[in-house]
Amino acid sequence: MSNFSVDELLNTCKGLLPPAKEAGACLQLICDSLKEQVPHYDWVGFYFAVPEQRLLVLGPFSGAPTEHTQIPYGRGICGQSAATERTLVVPDVSAESNYLSCSLQTRAEYVEPIILNGVYVGQIDIDSHTKDPFSDKDAFLLSGVASMVAPLVNQVFSP
Ligand code: SME
């Protein structure tokens, strides 16, 4: 479960930042790296915020295609995180009534807000096929990645 190095992964992600790669390609590579390197990450994606419409729009992701390309604030785990601008960790999605299923295999979900200069701009969403897989390592990793990518969101997406 915890067979990954937070420092190595943060360094990998840092090495993928512009100008090494254009911002959209960088976000895609970060999704791909996280999904590939962390055994319990089965879907990794970015959702971007459209504050005026209180809507999340799917950005780069790695994993199976999802029908949830737009999610209103408040709906599902992602929408609840957007509405509160808080990290949400759901160890067992079957125990959650306000949940939007992307895959029947998903057992757990982690949503990390992306904040740029105090403004909520989107989130990183992780789905896991393993029940209760998340620890402090995921919290360190995902908060680090969120801070790292925050300046890129406006380059990739304008609401
Ligand atoms: N499960 C999420 C929807 C997004 S997918 O996981 C990609 C939710 O409940 O908001």
Q: What is the pLDDT of residue 2?
A: 74
Question: Bridge-partner residues for 62, per DSSP?
Answer: 44
- How confident is the model at residue 18, as a pLDDT? 73
pLDDT of residue 13: 93
Residue 140 Cα to ligand 1 midpoint, Å, equals 21
- Kindly list the distances between the CA atom of residue 3 and the CA atoms of 30, 36, 137, in Å, as whole numbers in the listed order: 18, 12, 10
Predicted pLDDT at 158: 85
Find the CATH number of the domain harbouring 108.
3.30.450.40
pTM of the model: 0.92
* CB neighbour list of residue 117: distance below 8 Å, 6 or more residues apart: none
Give CA separation, 124 vs 13, 14, 121, in Å: 14, 16, 11
> In the block, which residue shows the tokens 């992600």?
13
Q: Is residue 87 part of a domain?
A: yes
Total domain count for the chain?
1
Q: Which residues line ligand 1 (CB under 6 A)?
A: 43, 45, 66, 68, 71, 76-79, 99-100, 102, 109, 125, 127
Q: How far apart are CA 94 and CA 5, in angstroms?
A: 29
Compute φ and ψ for 5, nearest 5 degrees. -105, 120
Please give the average pLDDT of every successive group of 10 residues along the chain, which has 159 residues: 88 83 91 98 98 97 97 98 98 96 95 97 98 98 97 89
Is 1 a member of any domain? no
In this prediction, residue 20 carries a pLDDT of 63
- Does residue 93 form part of some domain? yes
Q: Which atom of ligand 1 is nearest to the CA of 43?
A: 7
Distance 20 CA to ligand 1 centre (A): 30
| Ligand 1 atom 2: residue of nearest CA | 100
pLDDT at 134: 98
pLDDT of residue 101: 93
- The answer to whether the beta carbons of residues 115 and 82 sit under 8 Å apart is no
CA of 145 to the centre of ligand 1 (A): 19
Domain range for 67: 6-156
